[in-house]
C-alpha cells in the first residue's frame, strides 16, 4: 500500500471519483481507499483521522528535508569556496616570505592575581534584655490547644437507670 499525499508531489493528478450505488466516493489521499461523501459540505480527503495525521507528518517532513538540503548546499558551497581561497595564492604580485616573528624586547610580565578580600567584619552583638525589667506579654496569634484533663464518657451508667 503506497501512501499518496497531496502537497508533496503537486504534479500528481487528482484522485478519481468513484460512484457506488448512487453514492459518490473520493479516494483517500493517504491510502487510496474510497471515502464516502454523504452528509458533507466540503469533500473529505482522508478516510480516517490517523491518515490525515500521517499525511500531515509526511508533508511536514518533506518541507524540513527540503530546507535541510538547501542549508547543506549552502554550507557545502561555503566550504568549497574557502578551500579554493586557501589553495590559490593571490595574484597581486610576487610571493614574499612571511614576516619574521618580532623579537621579545621586554620580558613578558604576567599580572599577579588580585589580593584576597579582607574578612567581613563581625555583626554587632545585641545586648541581652535586663532580667529585672518584665517582658511585655504578647497576644498569641493562634488559640492554645490544651488537652482537657479528663474527657467525660458519653454514657454514664451510674447516673442513669436502665430502661
pLDDT per residue as tens digits for the range 106-144:
667 788 888 888 888 888 888 887 877 777 777 777 777
Task: Tell me the average pLDDT of the chain.
Answer: 76
- pLDDT tens digits for 15-56? 566 666 666 778 888 898 888 887 778 888 898 899 999 999
The model carries a pTM of 0.37
**Dihedral pair phi/psi, residue 20, rounded to 5°:** -125, 120
Q: How far is CA 110 from CA 52, 102, 107, 113, 115, in A?
A: 68, 19, 10, 9, 15
Q: What is the DSSP letter of 105?
A: S
Q: Are 26 and 19 in contact (CB under 8 A)?
A: no
Selection from 67, 48, 64 nearest residue 3 by Cα: 48
Amino acid at each position: 500500500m503506497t501512501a499518496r499525499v497531496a502537497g508533496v508531489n503537486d504534479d500528481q493528478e487528482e484522485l478519481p471519483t468513484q460512484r457506488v450505488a448512487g453514492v459518490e466516493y473520493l479516494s483517500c489521499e493517504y491510502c487510496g481507499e474510497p471515502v464516502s461523501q454523504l452528509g458533507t459540505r466540503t469533500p473529505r480527503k482522508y478516510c480516517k483521522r490517523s491518515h490525515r495525521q500521517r499525511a500531515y507528518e509526511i508533508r511536514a517532513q518533506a518541507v524540513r528535508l527540503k530546507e535541510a538540503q538547501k542549508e547543506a548546499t549552502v554550507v557545502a558551497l561555503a566550504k568549497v569556496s574557502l578551500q579554493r581561497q586557501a589553495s590559490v595564492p593571490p595574484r597581486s604580485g610576487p610571493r614574499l616570505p612571511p614576516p619574521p616573528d618580532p623579537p621579545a624586547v621586554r620580558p613578558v610580565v604576567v599580572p599577579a592575581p588580585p589580593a584576597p578580600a579582607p574578612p567581613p567584619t563581625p555583626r554587632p552583638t545585641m545586648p541581652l534584655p535586663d532580667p529585672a525589667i518584665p517582658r511585655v506579654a504578647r497576644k498569641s496569634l493562634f488559640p492554645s490547644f490544651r488537652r482537657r484533663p479528663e474527657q467525660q464518657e458519653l454514657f454514664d451508667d451510674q447516673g442513669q437507670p436502665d430502661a
